[in-house]
A and B are shown apart, each in its own frame.
Chain A
Amino acid sequence: MDEPIFSLKDVYFSYLGKYPALRGIDMDIRQGEKITVLGANGSGKSTLLHLLDGLIFPQQGAIRAFGVALQEGVFNDADFSRDFRKKVGLVFQNPDIQLFCPTVEEDICFGPLQLGVGEKETACRLEKIADDLGIDDLLQRSPHQLSVGEKRKVAIASTLIIEPQVLVLDEPTAGLDPKTSCAIVEIILRANSAGRTIITATHDLHIVEEISDRVYVLSREKKIARVEEPERLLADSRFLEEHNLIHTHAHCHQRQAHTHPHQHPGPDHHH
Chain B
Amino acid sequence: MLRRNDFIERSLAGALSFLKEAVFSDACALDRGFLQSLDPRIKIITFVLFIIRVLFTRDIVILLFLYALCLALAYYSKINLGFFLKRTWVFIPLFSLFIVIPALFSFVTPGEVLVSFSISGLKLTITRPGLSGAVLFTARVATSVSFAVLLGITTRHFALLKALRVFGIPQIFVFTIGMCYRYIYFFMEIIEHTCLAVKSRSGAKIHYKRGQRIVAWNIAYLWARSYQLNEEVYLAMLSRGYSGEPAALDDFRVGTKDWLWLAGVLIWMSLSFH
Binding site for B on A (CB under 8 A): 50, 53, 55, 78, 81-82, 85-86, 89-90, 92, 94, 96-103, 105-106, 109-111, 113-115, 119, 122-123, 140, 142-144, 158-159, 162
Q: State which of B128-136, B246-254, B259-267 sits at the interface with chain A.
A: B246-254
Q: Which of B202-239 contact A (CB under 8 A)?
A: 229, 232-233, 235-239
24 pairs, CB–CB < 8 Å, chain A vs chain B: A55-B235, A82-B241, A86-B241, A97-B233, A97-B236, A100-B179, A100-B183, A100-B236, A102-B161, A102-B181, A102-B182, A106-B158, A110-B237, A111-B240, A114-B241, A114-B242, A119-B249, A122-B249, A123-B251, A142-B158, A144-B24, A144-B186, A144-B189, A158-B240
Interface of A is mostly: helix
For the complex, give the distance between the alpha carbons of A252 and B238 in Å: 51
The listed residue with most A CB atoms (<10 A of its CB), out of B186, B236, B246, is: B236
Q: B243 near A: Cβ within 8 Å?
A: yes
The 3 closest A-B pairs by CB, nearest first: A102-B158, A114-B241, A111-B240
Q: What chain A residues lie within 8 Å of B249 (beta carbons)?
A: 105-106, 109, 113, 119, 122-123
Q: What chain B residues lie within 8 Å of A113 (beta carbons)?
A: 247-249
For the complex, give the distance between the alpha carbons of A162 and B240 in Å: 8
Q: What chain A residues lie within 8 Å of B181 (beta carbons)?
A: 102
A96 touches B186 (CB 8 A): yes
B237 touches A100 (CB 8 A): yes
The listed residue with most B CB atoms (<10 A of its CB), out of A86, A92, A142, is: A142
For the complex, give the distance between the alpha carbons of A99 and B24 in Å: 17
- Nearest CB on A from B272, distance (A): 36
Binding site for A on B (CB under 8 A): 24, 26, 156-158, 161, 178-179, 181-183, 185-186, 189, 229, 232-233, 235-243, 246-251
Q: What chain B residues lie within 8 Å of A90 (beta carbons)?
A: 239
For the complex, give the distance between the alpha carbons of A75 and B161 in Å: 32
Q: What chain B residues lie within 8 Å of A142 (beta carbons)?
A: 24, 26, 158, 182, 185
- Nearest CB on B from A94, distance (A): 7
- Nearest CB on A from B249, distance (A): 4
- Nearest CB on B from A128, distance (A): 15
For the complex, give the distance between the alpha carbons of A162 and B237 in Å: 13
CB-CB nearest in chain A for B249: A109
- Nearest CB on A from B192, distance (A): 12
Please give 19 more A-B residue pairs, beta carbons under 8 A apart, in addition to A97-B235, A142-B185. A55-B235, A82-B243, A85-B239, A85-B241, A89-B239, A94-B232, A98-B236, A102-B179, A106-B178, A106-B248, A106-B249, A110-B237, A110-B248, A111-B241, A115-B241, A119-B249, A123-B251, A142-B24, A144-B182
Q: Given A100-B183, A122-B249, A144-B186 in contact, is the A55-B239 Cβ separation under 8 Å? A: yes
Q: Given A106-B248, A119-B250, A123-B249 in contact, is the A100-B243 Cβ separation under 8 Å? A: no
CB-CB nearest in chain B for A122: B249
Which of B240, B243, B248 contacts A78 (CB under 8 A)? B243
The listed residue with most B CB atoms (<10 A of its CB), out of A53, A97, A100, A109, is: A100
For the complex, give the distance between the alpha carbons of A18 and B237 in Å: 27
For the complex, give the distance between the alpha carbons of A81 and B240 in Å: 10
- Nearest CB on B from A224, distance (A): 24
B179 touches A53 (CB 8 A): no
Q: What chain A residues lie within 8 Å of B185 (beta carbons)?
A: 142, 144
Q: What chain A residues lie within 8 Å of B248 (beta carbons)?
A: 106, 109-110, 113
CB-CB nearest in chain A for B237: A100
For the complex, give the distance between the alpha carbons of A55 and B235 in Å: 6
Q: What chain A residues lie within 8 Å of B161 (beta carbons)?
A: 102
For the complex, give the distance between the alpha carbons of A102 and B250 in Å: 14
